[in-house]
Structure 1
Amino acid sequence: MSELDALPAHYRLILCDVWGCIHDGIRLLPGVVERLTRWKAEGRTVFLVTNAPRTEATIARELEWLGLPRSAYDRIDSSGEAGIDALTSLGRPTGFLGTEDDRAELERAGLAFVEDSDATDIACIGFDDHRASIADYAADLDRWAARGVTLHCLNPDRVAMVGEIAVPCAGAIADAYEERGGRVTWYGKPHPAIYQHVLATAGSPPLDSVVAIGDGLLTDMLGAARHGIAAVFVTGGIQRGAGIPADFAQAHGLGDWRPLFTVSSLA
């Protein structure tokens, strides 16, 4: 029996992470459909909140392909959607860093891009199709920092697990840019914008009725703690079975914060 079976009834809004909790980048994880369906049957609202730099429609199609029925959740909120909204509001084209597929998706969402030599802002989706290490981007990052370019990071994750393989994400590039003195605007967990958006969409419920579920220490857990939201930590994702470090709360100025409980998976 999982502690999730006894999740207190007053938690009416569930903010569930996707990668590492619902799937591993290749397949749906065991027990996910049953767990989400059970929460829905209990009358709870289930929002999937992800740092994926893609649109809600694309993420929904990917989840359906993996076998997650649309009836198992109410809504998807992504850092990609938050970033698209913000970049659209700039009212001008930006530079771009990511794969050609990423670029095509954002162009379909209405964004326009220019060569980075003409850009005051760069949309950072992740690593491109040809360069696999941070060192490969050093010249670009140095040049952008010298010009005062703002890097818009649409995926704060530093790494994601695709099956058993660790794949670096946009957050690692953004970290390297900040180390050079570059200015980064972050979208997604643990940053405020995505929580403000999610809670507003949900009708601004009392925070004590909301619980976040995730496997990321610096995204899911840190974001929930900073925003006064209860959290359940899933150890079977990016942590690969490891628990929360004993000094995590102290290191991040969280006082005596701790998760409601820790589980290995949603099953």
Structure 2
Amino acid sequence: MSFLEALPPQYRVILCDIWGVVHDGVDLYSGAADRLLGWAGEGRRIILITNAPRTAEAVEQQLGRIGLPRGAWHGISTSGEAGIAALNALGAPVGFIGTTEDCAIIESRGVMIASSGDFTDLACLGLDGQRTNVADYLADIEPLAARGVVMHCLNPDRMVIRGGVPEACAGAIADLYEGLGGTVRWYGKPHPAIYDHALALGGNPDKSAVLAIGDALPTDVLGAARQGLDCIFVTGGIHAGEPFPASFAPQYGLGDWAPVAVVATLG
């Protein structure tokens, strides 16, 4: 019997990544929904934790379109929620990089988008749907970095796989911005705020009762490790079947930390 099938009873709250673990941006992975439904049926609390730069409501709608049953989770924690709160706290219009859909979502939550280039902060939610190469954004962001505009990156992911095709995310633009000397404020995994929110949705359990699941080493897995959480590394997502690297813990100063299990999929 596998680790997934006989999950230790100590894990009462599961923080499960979505893209790369539950679906590929287009379709559910085989067996993922049944796995989450089974754990929920055992009385475990399932919190989906995602670097999506959108609201929890928008993510729930996407999951509905993809076909994940509503009973497969109890709450959704997104980097978008944390970023929206920070942008609203600025009390001033901000610049924007992302799709028109993403812009409409954050505007519906009170974020003011600047109508001119006179802004001190920039919301970066991802590519704009027209330019697919991160380098294409250089001409836009280089002058912003030069004048000290602060970028707020609402999705720290650098890349996802959408229907088998690699697609750059906001984190890749933010990396480019930092390379230009610009300041970036990051929201989402592996940073603490999203875990605080997710654990609150889970009832603020002791961390020994929490299991994180993710497929991205520099976000999902690193975030879990830094939070002191047990973690399952799913190899079938962004890292395309590569094994857990022996260099991971030394690279990040994590001592002898390692995931409690390495699996290809949740199925």
AA in 1 matched with 2:154: L
Secondary structure of the structure 1 residue equivalent to 2:43: coil
Segments of 4+ in structure 1 off by > 6 A?
none
Is structure 2 residue 194 aligned with structure 1 residue 187? no
1:1-267 equivalences under 5 Å are 1-115=1-115, 117-267=117-267
Are the counterparts in 1 of residues 75 and 201 from structure 2 also a CA contact under 8 Å?
A: no
Are the counterparts in 2 of residues 116 and 122 from structure 1 also a CA contact under 8 Å?
A: no
How far, CA to CA, are the matches of 1:205 and 1:85 in structure 2? 24
- What's the Cα RMSD here? 1.1
| Percentage of pairs with the same residue | 54
Give unmatched runs, 5+ long, in structure 1: none
Q: Count matched residues.
A: 267
Alignment deviations for residues 205-259 of structure 1 (CA, whole Å, 9 cap, x no partner): 1111101001010011000000101000001111111111110110111110000
- TM-score, normalising length from structure 1? 0.97
How far, CA to CA, are the matches of 1:62 and 1:129 in structure 2? 17
Give unmatched runs, 5+ long, in structure 2: none
- Of 160-169 and 109-118, the range deviating more from structure 2: 109-118
Give the superposition deviation at 1:141.
Answer: 2.0
How far, CA to CA, are the matches of 1:105 and 1:32 in structure 2? 28
How far, CA to CA, are the matches of 2:208 and 2:72 in structure 1? 23
Alignment deviations for residues 48-100 of structure 1 (CA, whole Å, 9 cap, x no partner): 00011111111111111111111111001111111111111111111101111
AA in 1 matched with 2:106: L
Are the counterparts in 1 of residues 207 and 229 from structure 2 also a CA contact under 8 Å?
A: yes
Are the counterparts in 1 of residues 48 and 76 from structure 2 also a CA contact under 8 Å?
A: yes
Alignment deviations for residues 72-129 of structure 1 (CA, whole Å, 9 cap, x no partner): 1100111111111111111111110111111111112221100462110000011113
Secondary structure of the structure 1 residue equivalent to 2:257: coil
Give the superposition deviation at 1:130.
Answer: 2.7
Give the superposition deviation at 1:29.
Answer: 0.8
- TM-score, normalising length from structure 2? 0.97
How far, CA to CA, are the matches of 1:167 and 1:262 in structure 2? 24
